[in-house]
Structures are given as C-alpha cells and as structure tokens.
Amino acid sequence: MSFVCFILLSIFLGFIYCLFDGYLYTGFFKNKIEIKSNSFNTSISVKFGDLFSQSGWKAIAVNDFFDGIVDDDLVSIKSLHGIAISKFWQNPHDWQSQIDNSLKRMSFNKEKRAKGNKKRYPIGTTAFAQKDDQKILFVALGYTDTNTNLTSATSKSLIQAVRGLLEEARTKCAGEELFIPLMGSGLSRVGIKNLILVYIILAAIFEETKQSKITEKITIVLPWEQAKEINLVNFKKDWN
C-alpha cells in the first residue's frame, strides 16, 4: 500500500469511528433521544434546539405575578418569558390582556407592590397566550420577593409547576406536541445542576402522564449550549 493510500484509508476509518463513537457510544453527536416506558403510550423525547422554532405548543416558566413588563427588573430580557413577549408581542398590553383573561377563574392573593401586577398566583398556575403561530402556556414557577422583584424556586416548586402545566395542557394541546424548556435554570434560581433539572422535569412528566394522558408527544428542549454538559446517550442509559 502506498503512503497516500495509507493516509486516505486512515482518515476514512477515523471518520467512520468518529461517527460510531459520536452517535452510538459516547454520544457527543447525538442531539435527540426518546425515553420509553411501558406505563403509557405517550412519546417522550429530549433534544437540543431552539424552543421558539418548534411547531406545536410551548411552555414557558414565569413569576407568580405573571408580570408583563420586560425591563430587567420585573421580567428579564434574557429569560424565555422576556424573549417571548419582546419577540412576538410588540404591544405587551396585548400579552397581559390574554393572560389576565386566561387567569380570571384562578385563585390568587392580593399583594402590595411598588410596581407590577398585584395578584400573586399559586405555583403551578398556568395561563395561555397566542400570537400568530406561537401557542404558549405560561406557568408560574418562581416565587417573587416583592421588595426586590427577584424570583426563586426549589425542586419542589419545579415539580409542582410542571404538573400544573401538564394539567392545563390536557385541555389545550388536543393531541399536538408539547415542548417544555429547561425550567429551573438561570433566573429561576433553583440552584441544581442542569442534568438533575432534566431528571426532575421527566419525573414530573411520568407521574402526571401515568394518571391520565396529556397529549401524543412531549419533548423537553434543551439549549444548544448545554450540549457540552449533557450527554444524551448516557442520559438515556441512566434513565432506562
């Protein structure tokens, strides 16, 4: 074998091994997996991607006041809550009007605040708003400090929020796919590693789905920057 042929063959075999390793063994190329269970027939997946580019229903965590002012005080522009309002609702009052209408039968406590909404809703309360093809369920996850407007959550409130979201999704999704982001990370301040957050969200999905079917397919959408931290192949092995 000539030296050139040897080099080309080595490159080819290395490429094949890289694909095998990346998709089937270590999984660093894998960007979507399906979690199967014998307890129900709902398809549950975990993938990397952009939440807003998905076609179907979407879920977004908000604070327990359902504030709609994106000013980096009440609502951060970097949060999915803030991005959704800024990107799809040029008039935030339209978003707030839809949310208030959706919440009109929900229980709440009246609070004194210097700014923002005055009605505090229980964690897990879910409201609906739509703009063009964006159909979004907004679920209360973060508890708001009325003095600083900072929000915080715990693993317990995360489970409560996901299950409350899924209860509302039963009546709204009507068989369409539901996309859930990595709730509890970032400004929600749960303080748990992202991989553990995915486990908690999945556990809540399994528990709620076992009670009664929610929709045909549920997908957890992770941001692309988490691909270095979360290996989906290992994740699937651990979960199964």
Looking at residue 4, what is its pLDDT? 56
What mean pLDDT do residues 102-119 have? 93
Right CATH for 31-239 from 3.10.580.10, 3.40.50.300, 3.40.220.10, 3.30.420.40: 3.40.220.10
Higher pLDDT, 99 or 188: 99
Looking at residue 1, what is its pLDDT? 64
Looking at residue 22, what is its pLDDT? 52
Can you name the residues that pair with 130 across neighbouring β-strands? Answer: 135
Residue 169 has pLDDT above 70, yes or no: yes
What mean pLDDT do residues 161-177 have? 93
Residue 23 has pLDDT above 70, yes or no: no
Instruction: Write down the mean pLDDT value for the chain.
Output: 86
- Percent of the chain exceeding pLDDT 90 equals 57
Residue 181 has pLDDT above 70, yes or no: yes
Q: What is the DSSP letter of 24?
A: I
Looking at residue 36, what is its pLDDT? 76
* Dist CA 211 CA 10 (whole Å): 54
What mean pLDDT do residues 104-110 have? 94
- What is each CA distance from 209 to 31, 175, 178, 214, in whole angstroms? 24, 13, 13, 6
- Which amino acid, 197? L
Looking at residue 193, what is its pLDDT? 87
Q: Give me the sign of the Cα torsion angle 233, 237, 238, 240.
A: positive
pLDDT level of residue 6 (50, 70, 90 thresholds): low
Q: What is the DSSP letter of 22?
A: I
Looking at residue 235, what is its pLDDT? 75
- What is each CA distance from 183 to 38, 85, 141, 153, in whole angstroms? 26, 17, 8, 10
pLDDT level of residue 10 (50, 70, 90 thresholds): low
What mean pLDDT do residues 222-229 have? 85
Query: What is the pTM assigned to this prediction?
Result: 0.85
Looking at residue 226, what is its pLDDT? 83
Looking only at the bridges linking them, the beta strands covering 134-144 and 57-63 are parallel
Q: Give me the sign of the Cα torsion angle 183, 189, 194, 198.
A: negative
Higher pLDDT, 83 or 192: 83
Residue 14 has pLDDT above 80, yes or no: no
Residue 28 has pLDDT above 70, yes or no: no
